Copies of this chain bind each other. A is one copy, B any other.
């Protein structure tokens, strides 16, 4: 059910972009109970005039390697689960792809379970 939107600055390889997406997905499965195979993502590149970030908000030093991840998902996960997800995701993007943990920006948007149709015109989670 999560719909993941990932924004990067131009210049990354298609392979890297896909790998970022795979790690986001796998970390959701591992930490916040996202079902296997439930992977739907939009990954977008932007030029430097189109992806704007502050390089030091909250005293975190960000660079052009920033990855902005916005995830629409079902409501109800605890604060502790969300924290575990953020931590694990930043750690994995760093250890597996060399992305600085400072450059991992995450935004969650929560919705009700009846707000999805995965095909066939059916609200699969509301049945």
Contacts from A to B (Cβ < 8 Å): 3, 7, 14, 17-18, 21, 35, 37-47, 49-54, 56-58, 60, 62, 68, 70, 72, 79, 82-83, 86-91, 101-112, 114-124, 126
Chain B residues with CB under 8 Å of A108's CB are 111, 115-116
Q: Looking at the complex, which one of B46, B52, B79 makes contact with A123 (CB distance below 8 Å)?
A: B79
Interface of A is mostly: mixed
Chain B residues with CB under 8 Å of A54's CB are 37-40
Q: Looking at the complex, which one of B3, B46, B52, B60 makes contact with A70 (CB distance below 8 Å)?
A: B3
Chain B residues with CB under 8 Å of A114's CB are 79, 82-83
> Can you list 10 residue pairs at the A/B interface with Cβ under 8 Å?
A37-B58, A38-B57, A40-B105, A41-B53, A43-B52, A79-B126, A86-B117, A87-B121, A101-B120, A104-B117
